[in-house]
Structure 1
Amino acid sequence: MKIKQLVVAGSLVLMAGGLAACGQAKAQTSKQKTLHLMQDTDLTSLDTSNTATLTQWNVLQQSMEGLYRVNSKNKVVGAMATKVVKPTNNGKTYTFHLRKNAKWNNGDQVTAQDFVTAWRRSVSSTSTSGYSYIYEGIKNATQISAGKKATKTLGVQAVNKTTLKVTLSRAMPYLSKMLTMPAFFPQNHQVVAKYGKNYGTTSTKMAYNGPFTVKGWTGTNDSWNLVKNTYYYDKSAIKLNKMTMQVVKDSTTAHNLFSQGKLDDVTVTGATAQGLQHDKHLKHVSKAGTYYLRLNMAKNHALHNQYLRQALNLVLNKNSLTKKVLSDGSTAAHNYVTPTLVTDPTTGKDFGTETANTARYNVKKAQQLWKKGLKQLGKKSVTLKLVGDDTSVSKTITQFVQAAVEQNLSGAKVTVSSVPEKAESAAVSSGNYDMQYALWLADYADPVSFFDILTKNNPQNYGKYTDSVFNAQITAAHGKNATNTKAYWQNMRTAAQRLNTTAAVVPLYNMTESHLVNSKLTGVVYHSVGENDYTRATFK
């Protein structure tokens, strides 16, 4: 997920100093009907066609629904659609029937046109969310995003008020998983027409079809409420009356607010998380995300050389990084695809585990490869520019990498650039870097969610990775093998192995969230893929 590169990594904060004992005030009682939550970055828009950030998607997860949702058993079930449908036309046509009792919070019925409007806006060449690529595979989406076809040609049609027809250019066996994402949520077409470019800029310039409605967000403030939606079709399943959300960027502040009983679920990071690893309220939530070094493999950069890339992967002691430096429950990553993402149905094994790189920390081997790479380049030394954001955790990681490389690889110099997120993004998009501390969090539970952004022509392939074997595997998976389970998963395994062999990225550690949770809070669904779902929560 693109936003993770610039938002999640930037939200982690290392805080020095002592920690107060972690208790909770008596304000939280068994009769509590209001859930108090935090977000660690600002809310900038509610319009999924305009922006795509973690805070935005976290808010929309509680207040909106798409055709499908993921239930507490991590199973895709019908939401606005009455059921999960099977495609026809060799996997290229989906016909969805919408619930007739599905309504927006203003009383309007949720219609097929609401999906048509939303998807056309999001796939448009003028969309600024950065997520138009997620629609690739829907008929004409790629051409529309490139400005070569009109949005009305997108393969999505309102057959009638409650029937939506989606036509694909190729079979997409993982489409059902994708449709649970906020990127595919509907937009009330009448509300969009009313507010135009101002749609989603405040909580009042929106309509909500989910369990809660957003109240009190002006577009700039750092706190708002979510109130139970009386028009929600399944309102009897919603036990809370209200959620409050406030932006808390400081991990120590989050811990203090939790200790005072002012927040019921907070995330803590860095030194704060380190000091709370044995706290009774601590909950580790494994997410299908991998922190890694993005490598610039453009021909005019040193890391175009495969031997140098392989050396970087071997010279970093990732176990030491997670256990001694981070010490927050994170685990070492030996694969670009995170374990816990998905089980390979043809082997019955966890995909991230079965395809893990067997080449592990080995300084001697790294030195040999480094020397070989320099010889190929005809150089005695290289200077690598390592870019990260200006948060403490990013600085800690980049300093760790810098020390390991410079101390162990002869002729290697690493310059670290710790800059605000906007400047970091500019450096990466312009190619003014050699390595970048990044994170990719899966959009949906399939390895191709990771792989797509490394294909040759993907707009998010900022590292300029180009490998004919890898590209051929992904092309086949999207094409001739899309509906052949055995062949598809063989493509996935081969693609993963190719990334390992060519050292396309340097995995660092797997994403783990450290939550402090009110012991009386129950019913929260902490998804490995996607946003945490608080809509069915209650207090014991």
Structure 2
Amino acid sequence: MADDPQLVIEKDARTSYLEFNQREADSPYHNANLRKAISYSIDRDAVVNRILGDGSIASTGLVPAGMSFSPTDNVDFADENKDLLTYNKEKAKEYWEAAKKELNIDSFKFDIVGDDTDSTKKILEYIQGAVKENLEGVDVTVTSVPFSVRLDRGKNGNFDVIMGGWGADYSDPSSFTDLFVTGNSYNRGQYSNKEYDKLVEASGTTNAGDPDKRWNDMVDAEKVLMEDMGIAPVYQKAEAHMRNEKVKGVVTHGAGARYDYKWTYISE
């Protein structure tokens, strides 16, 4: 099936990620080492290859691949910080040990809220098992709810950790980097980082007229977010389709109108 020439994999400009509830001043999720311990426990390649198997790709950052490219050298934004988000169970254990000392705890329990679709339930069950296996003393439960309920719980802050996501409204990194500035309504966990805010603001104001500086601001903002593990990206959604080899010139877009048939033709 994977080698079938009629199989077409089309990436969406959408990233699914875990958000940590940092709304309360005493929230344990203010602790960066705890967030990192959880994130480093997740083998994202296993998620996309063993669970989804639909062409979705492991996330290397917040901004999805194939959507936006550097104005200088045409580098994919997703390649700029791709080494920051990895699976490393040894690092996960180290961060967990650091978190235990800083939080003065020996064990920890949290719940992940997610959609009740088959794919999301399987992903959360995998994350549940991976975290429990890699982080001794950590217990994880999963709460699967209808999409509308998940949105309400995210909006109201009724969660420990929540699996959400975002699809680009337009093909620019700002569609994602704007999400996690302090006070953004879509920043469900209310993550806040002054350096991140400063960089995102500069990309939309001071450096808005300079493509290179604006690009670098957004790259640096994503770097801050990933180094701080303000959220934990998991995968970029893709769809697999069968298309007759004779159909040529179909253009797909990750954001906006999905298909463009302007140049489509049937070859003989």
- Same-fold call, TM > 0.5? yes
Which residue in 1 is equivalent to 2:186? 460
In structure 2, give the amino acid aligned to 1:452.
D
Q: Is the aligned partner of 1:367 residue 2:73?
A: no
Q: Deviations over 1:258-286 (max 9, x none)?
A: xxxxxxxxxxxxxxxxxx43444321112
Q: Is the aligned partner of 1:339 residue 2:65?
A: yes
The Cα of 1:466 is off from its aligned counterpart by: 0.4
The Cα of 1:501 is off from its aligned counterpart by: 0.9
The Cα of 1:403 is off from its aligned counterpart by: 0.2
Which residue in 2 is equivalent to 1:42? none
More helix by percentage = 2
Check the 8 A contact 2:12/2:254 in 1, yes or no: yes
Which residue in 1 is equivalent to 2:165? 439
Check the 8 A contact 2:18/2:161 in 1, yes or no: yes
228, 238, 244: which one pairs with 1:512?
Answer: 238
Three-state SS of the structure 2 residue aligned to 1:344 is: coil
The Cα of 1:399 is off from its aligned counterpart by: 0.2
Q: Deviations over 1:51-87 (max 9, x none)?
A: xxxxxxxxxxxxxxxxxxxxxxxxxxxxxxxxxxxxx
In structure 2, give the amino acid aligned to 1:293.
L
The Cα of 1:498 is off from its aligned counterpart by: 0.2
The structure-2 alpha-carbon separation of the partners of 1:536 and 1:493, relative to structure 1 and needing over 3 Å to count, comes to: closer
User: Pairwise mapping of residues 37-436 of structure 1 onto structure 2 (< 5 A)?
Assistant: 276-298=1-23, 299-436=25-162
Which residue in 2 is equivalent to 1:469? 195
The Cα of 1:516 is off from its aligned counterpart by: 2.2
Check the 8 A contact 2:60/2:81 in 1, yes or no: no
Check the 8 A contact 1:429/1:462 in 2, yes or no: yes
The Cα of 1:359 is off from its aligned counterpart by: 4.8
Check the 8 A contact 1:524/1:532 in 2, yes or no: no
Q: Distance in 2 between matches of 1:307 and 1:486?
A: 33
Three-state SS of the structure 1 residue aligned to 2:252 is: coil
In percent, how many aligned pairs have the same letter?
32
Check the 8 A contact 2:173/2:218 in 1, yes or no: yes
Q: Is the aligned partner of 1:500 residue 2:226?
A: yes
Which residue in 2 is equivalent to 1:484? 210
Q: Deviations over 1:385-429 (max 9, x none)?
A: 101111110110000100001111122111100111121112111
527, 530, 533: which one pairs with 2:253?
Answer: 527
| Structure 1: runs of 5 or more not aligned | 1-275
The structure 1 segments of at least 4 consecutive aligned residues displaced by more than 4 Å after TM superposition are: 518-523
Larger radius of gyration: 1
In structure 2, give the amino acid aligned to 1:277.
A
Q: Distance in 2 between matches of 1:462 and 1:307?
A: 20
Check the 8 A contact 2:61/2:85 in 1, yes or no: no
Q: Deviations over 1:168-227 (max 9, x none)?
A: xxxxxxxxxxxxxxxxxxxxxxxxxxxxxxxxxxxxxxxxxxxxxxxxxxxxxxxxxxxx
Which residue in 2 is equivalent to 1:259? none
The structure-2 alpha-carbon separation of the partners of 1:538 and 1:337, relative to structure 1 and needing over 3 Å to count, comes to: closer
The Cα of 1:434 is off from its aligned counterpart by: 2.0
* Count of residue pairs brought into register by the alignment: 265
Q: Distance in 1 between matches of 2:257 and 2:18?
A: 24
Three-state SS of the structure 2 residue aligned to 1:494 is: helix
The structure-2 alpha-carbon separation of the partners of 1:514 and 1:522, relative to structure 1 and needing over 3 Å to count, comes to: same
Q: Distance in 1 between matches of 2:21 and 2:161?
A: 6
Three-state SS of the structure 1 residue aligned to 2:72 is: coil
In structure 1, give the amino acid aligned to 2:16.
Y
Check the 8 A contact 1:455/1:466 in 2, yes or no: yes
> Which deviates more from structure 2 when the two are superposed, residues 370-379 or residues 305-314?
370-379
In structure 1, give the amino acid aligned to 2:14.
G
The Cα of 1:431 is off from its aligned counterpart by: 0.9
Structure number with greater CO (CA < 8 Å, separation at least 6) is 2
In structure 1, give the amino acid aligned to 2:44.
K
Q: Distance in 2 between matches of 1:314 and 1:433?
A: 21
The Cα of 1:484 is off from its aligned counterpart by: 2.0
Three-state SS of the structure 2 residue aligned to 1:346 is: coil
Three-state SS of the structure 2 residue aligned to 1:399 is: helix
| Structure 2: runs of 5 or more not aligned | none
Which residue in 2 is equivalent to 1:71? none
Q: Distance in 1 between matches of 2:248 and 2:90?
A: 50
The two structures have a TM-score, normalised by structure 2, of 0.91
Q: Distance in 2 between matches of 1:431 and 1:300?
A: 14
The Cα of 1:295 is off from its aligned counterpart by: 2.2
Check the 8 A contact 2:6/2:244 in 1, yes or no: yes
Q: Deviations over 1:242-266 (max 9, x none)?
A: xxxxxxxxxxxxxxxxxxxxxxxxx
Check the 8 A contact 1:339/1:350 in 2, yes or no: yes
In structure 2, give the amino acid aligned to 1:436.
I
Q: Distance in 2 between matches of 1:463 and 1:384?
A: 14
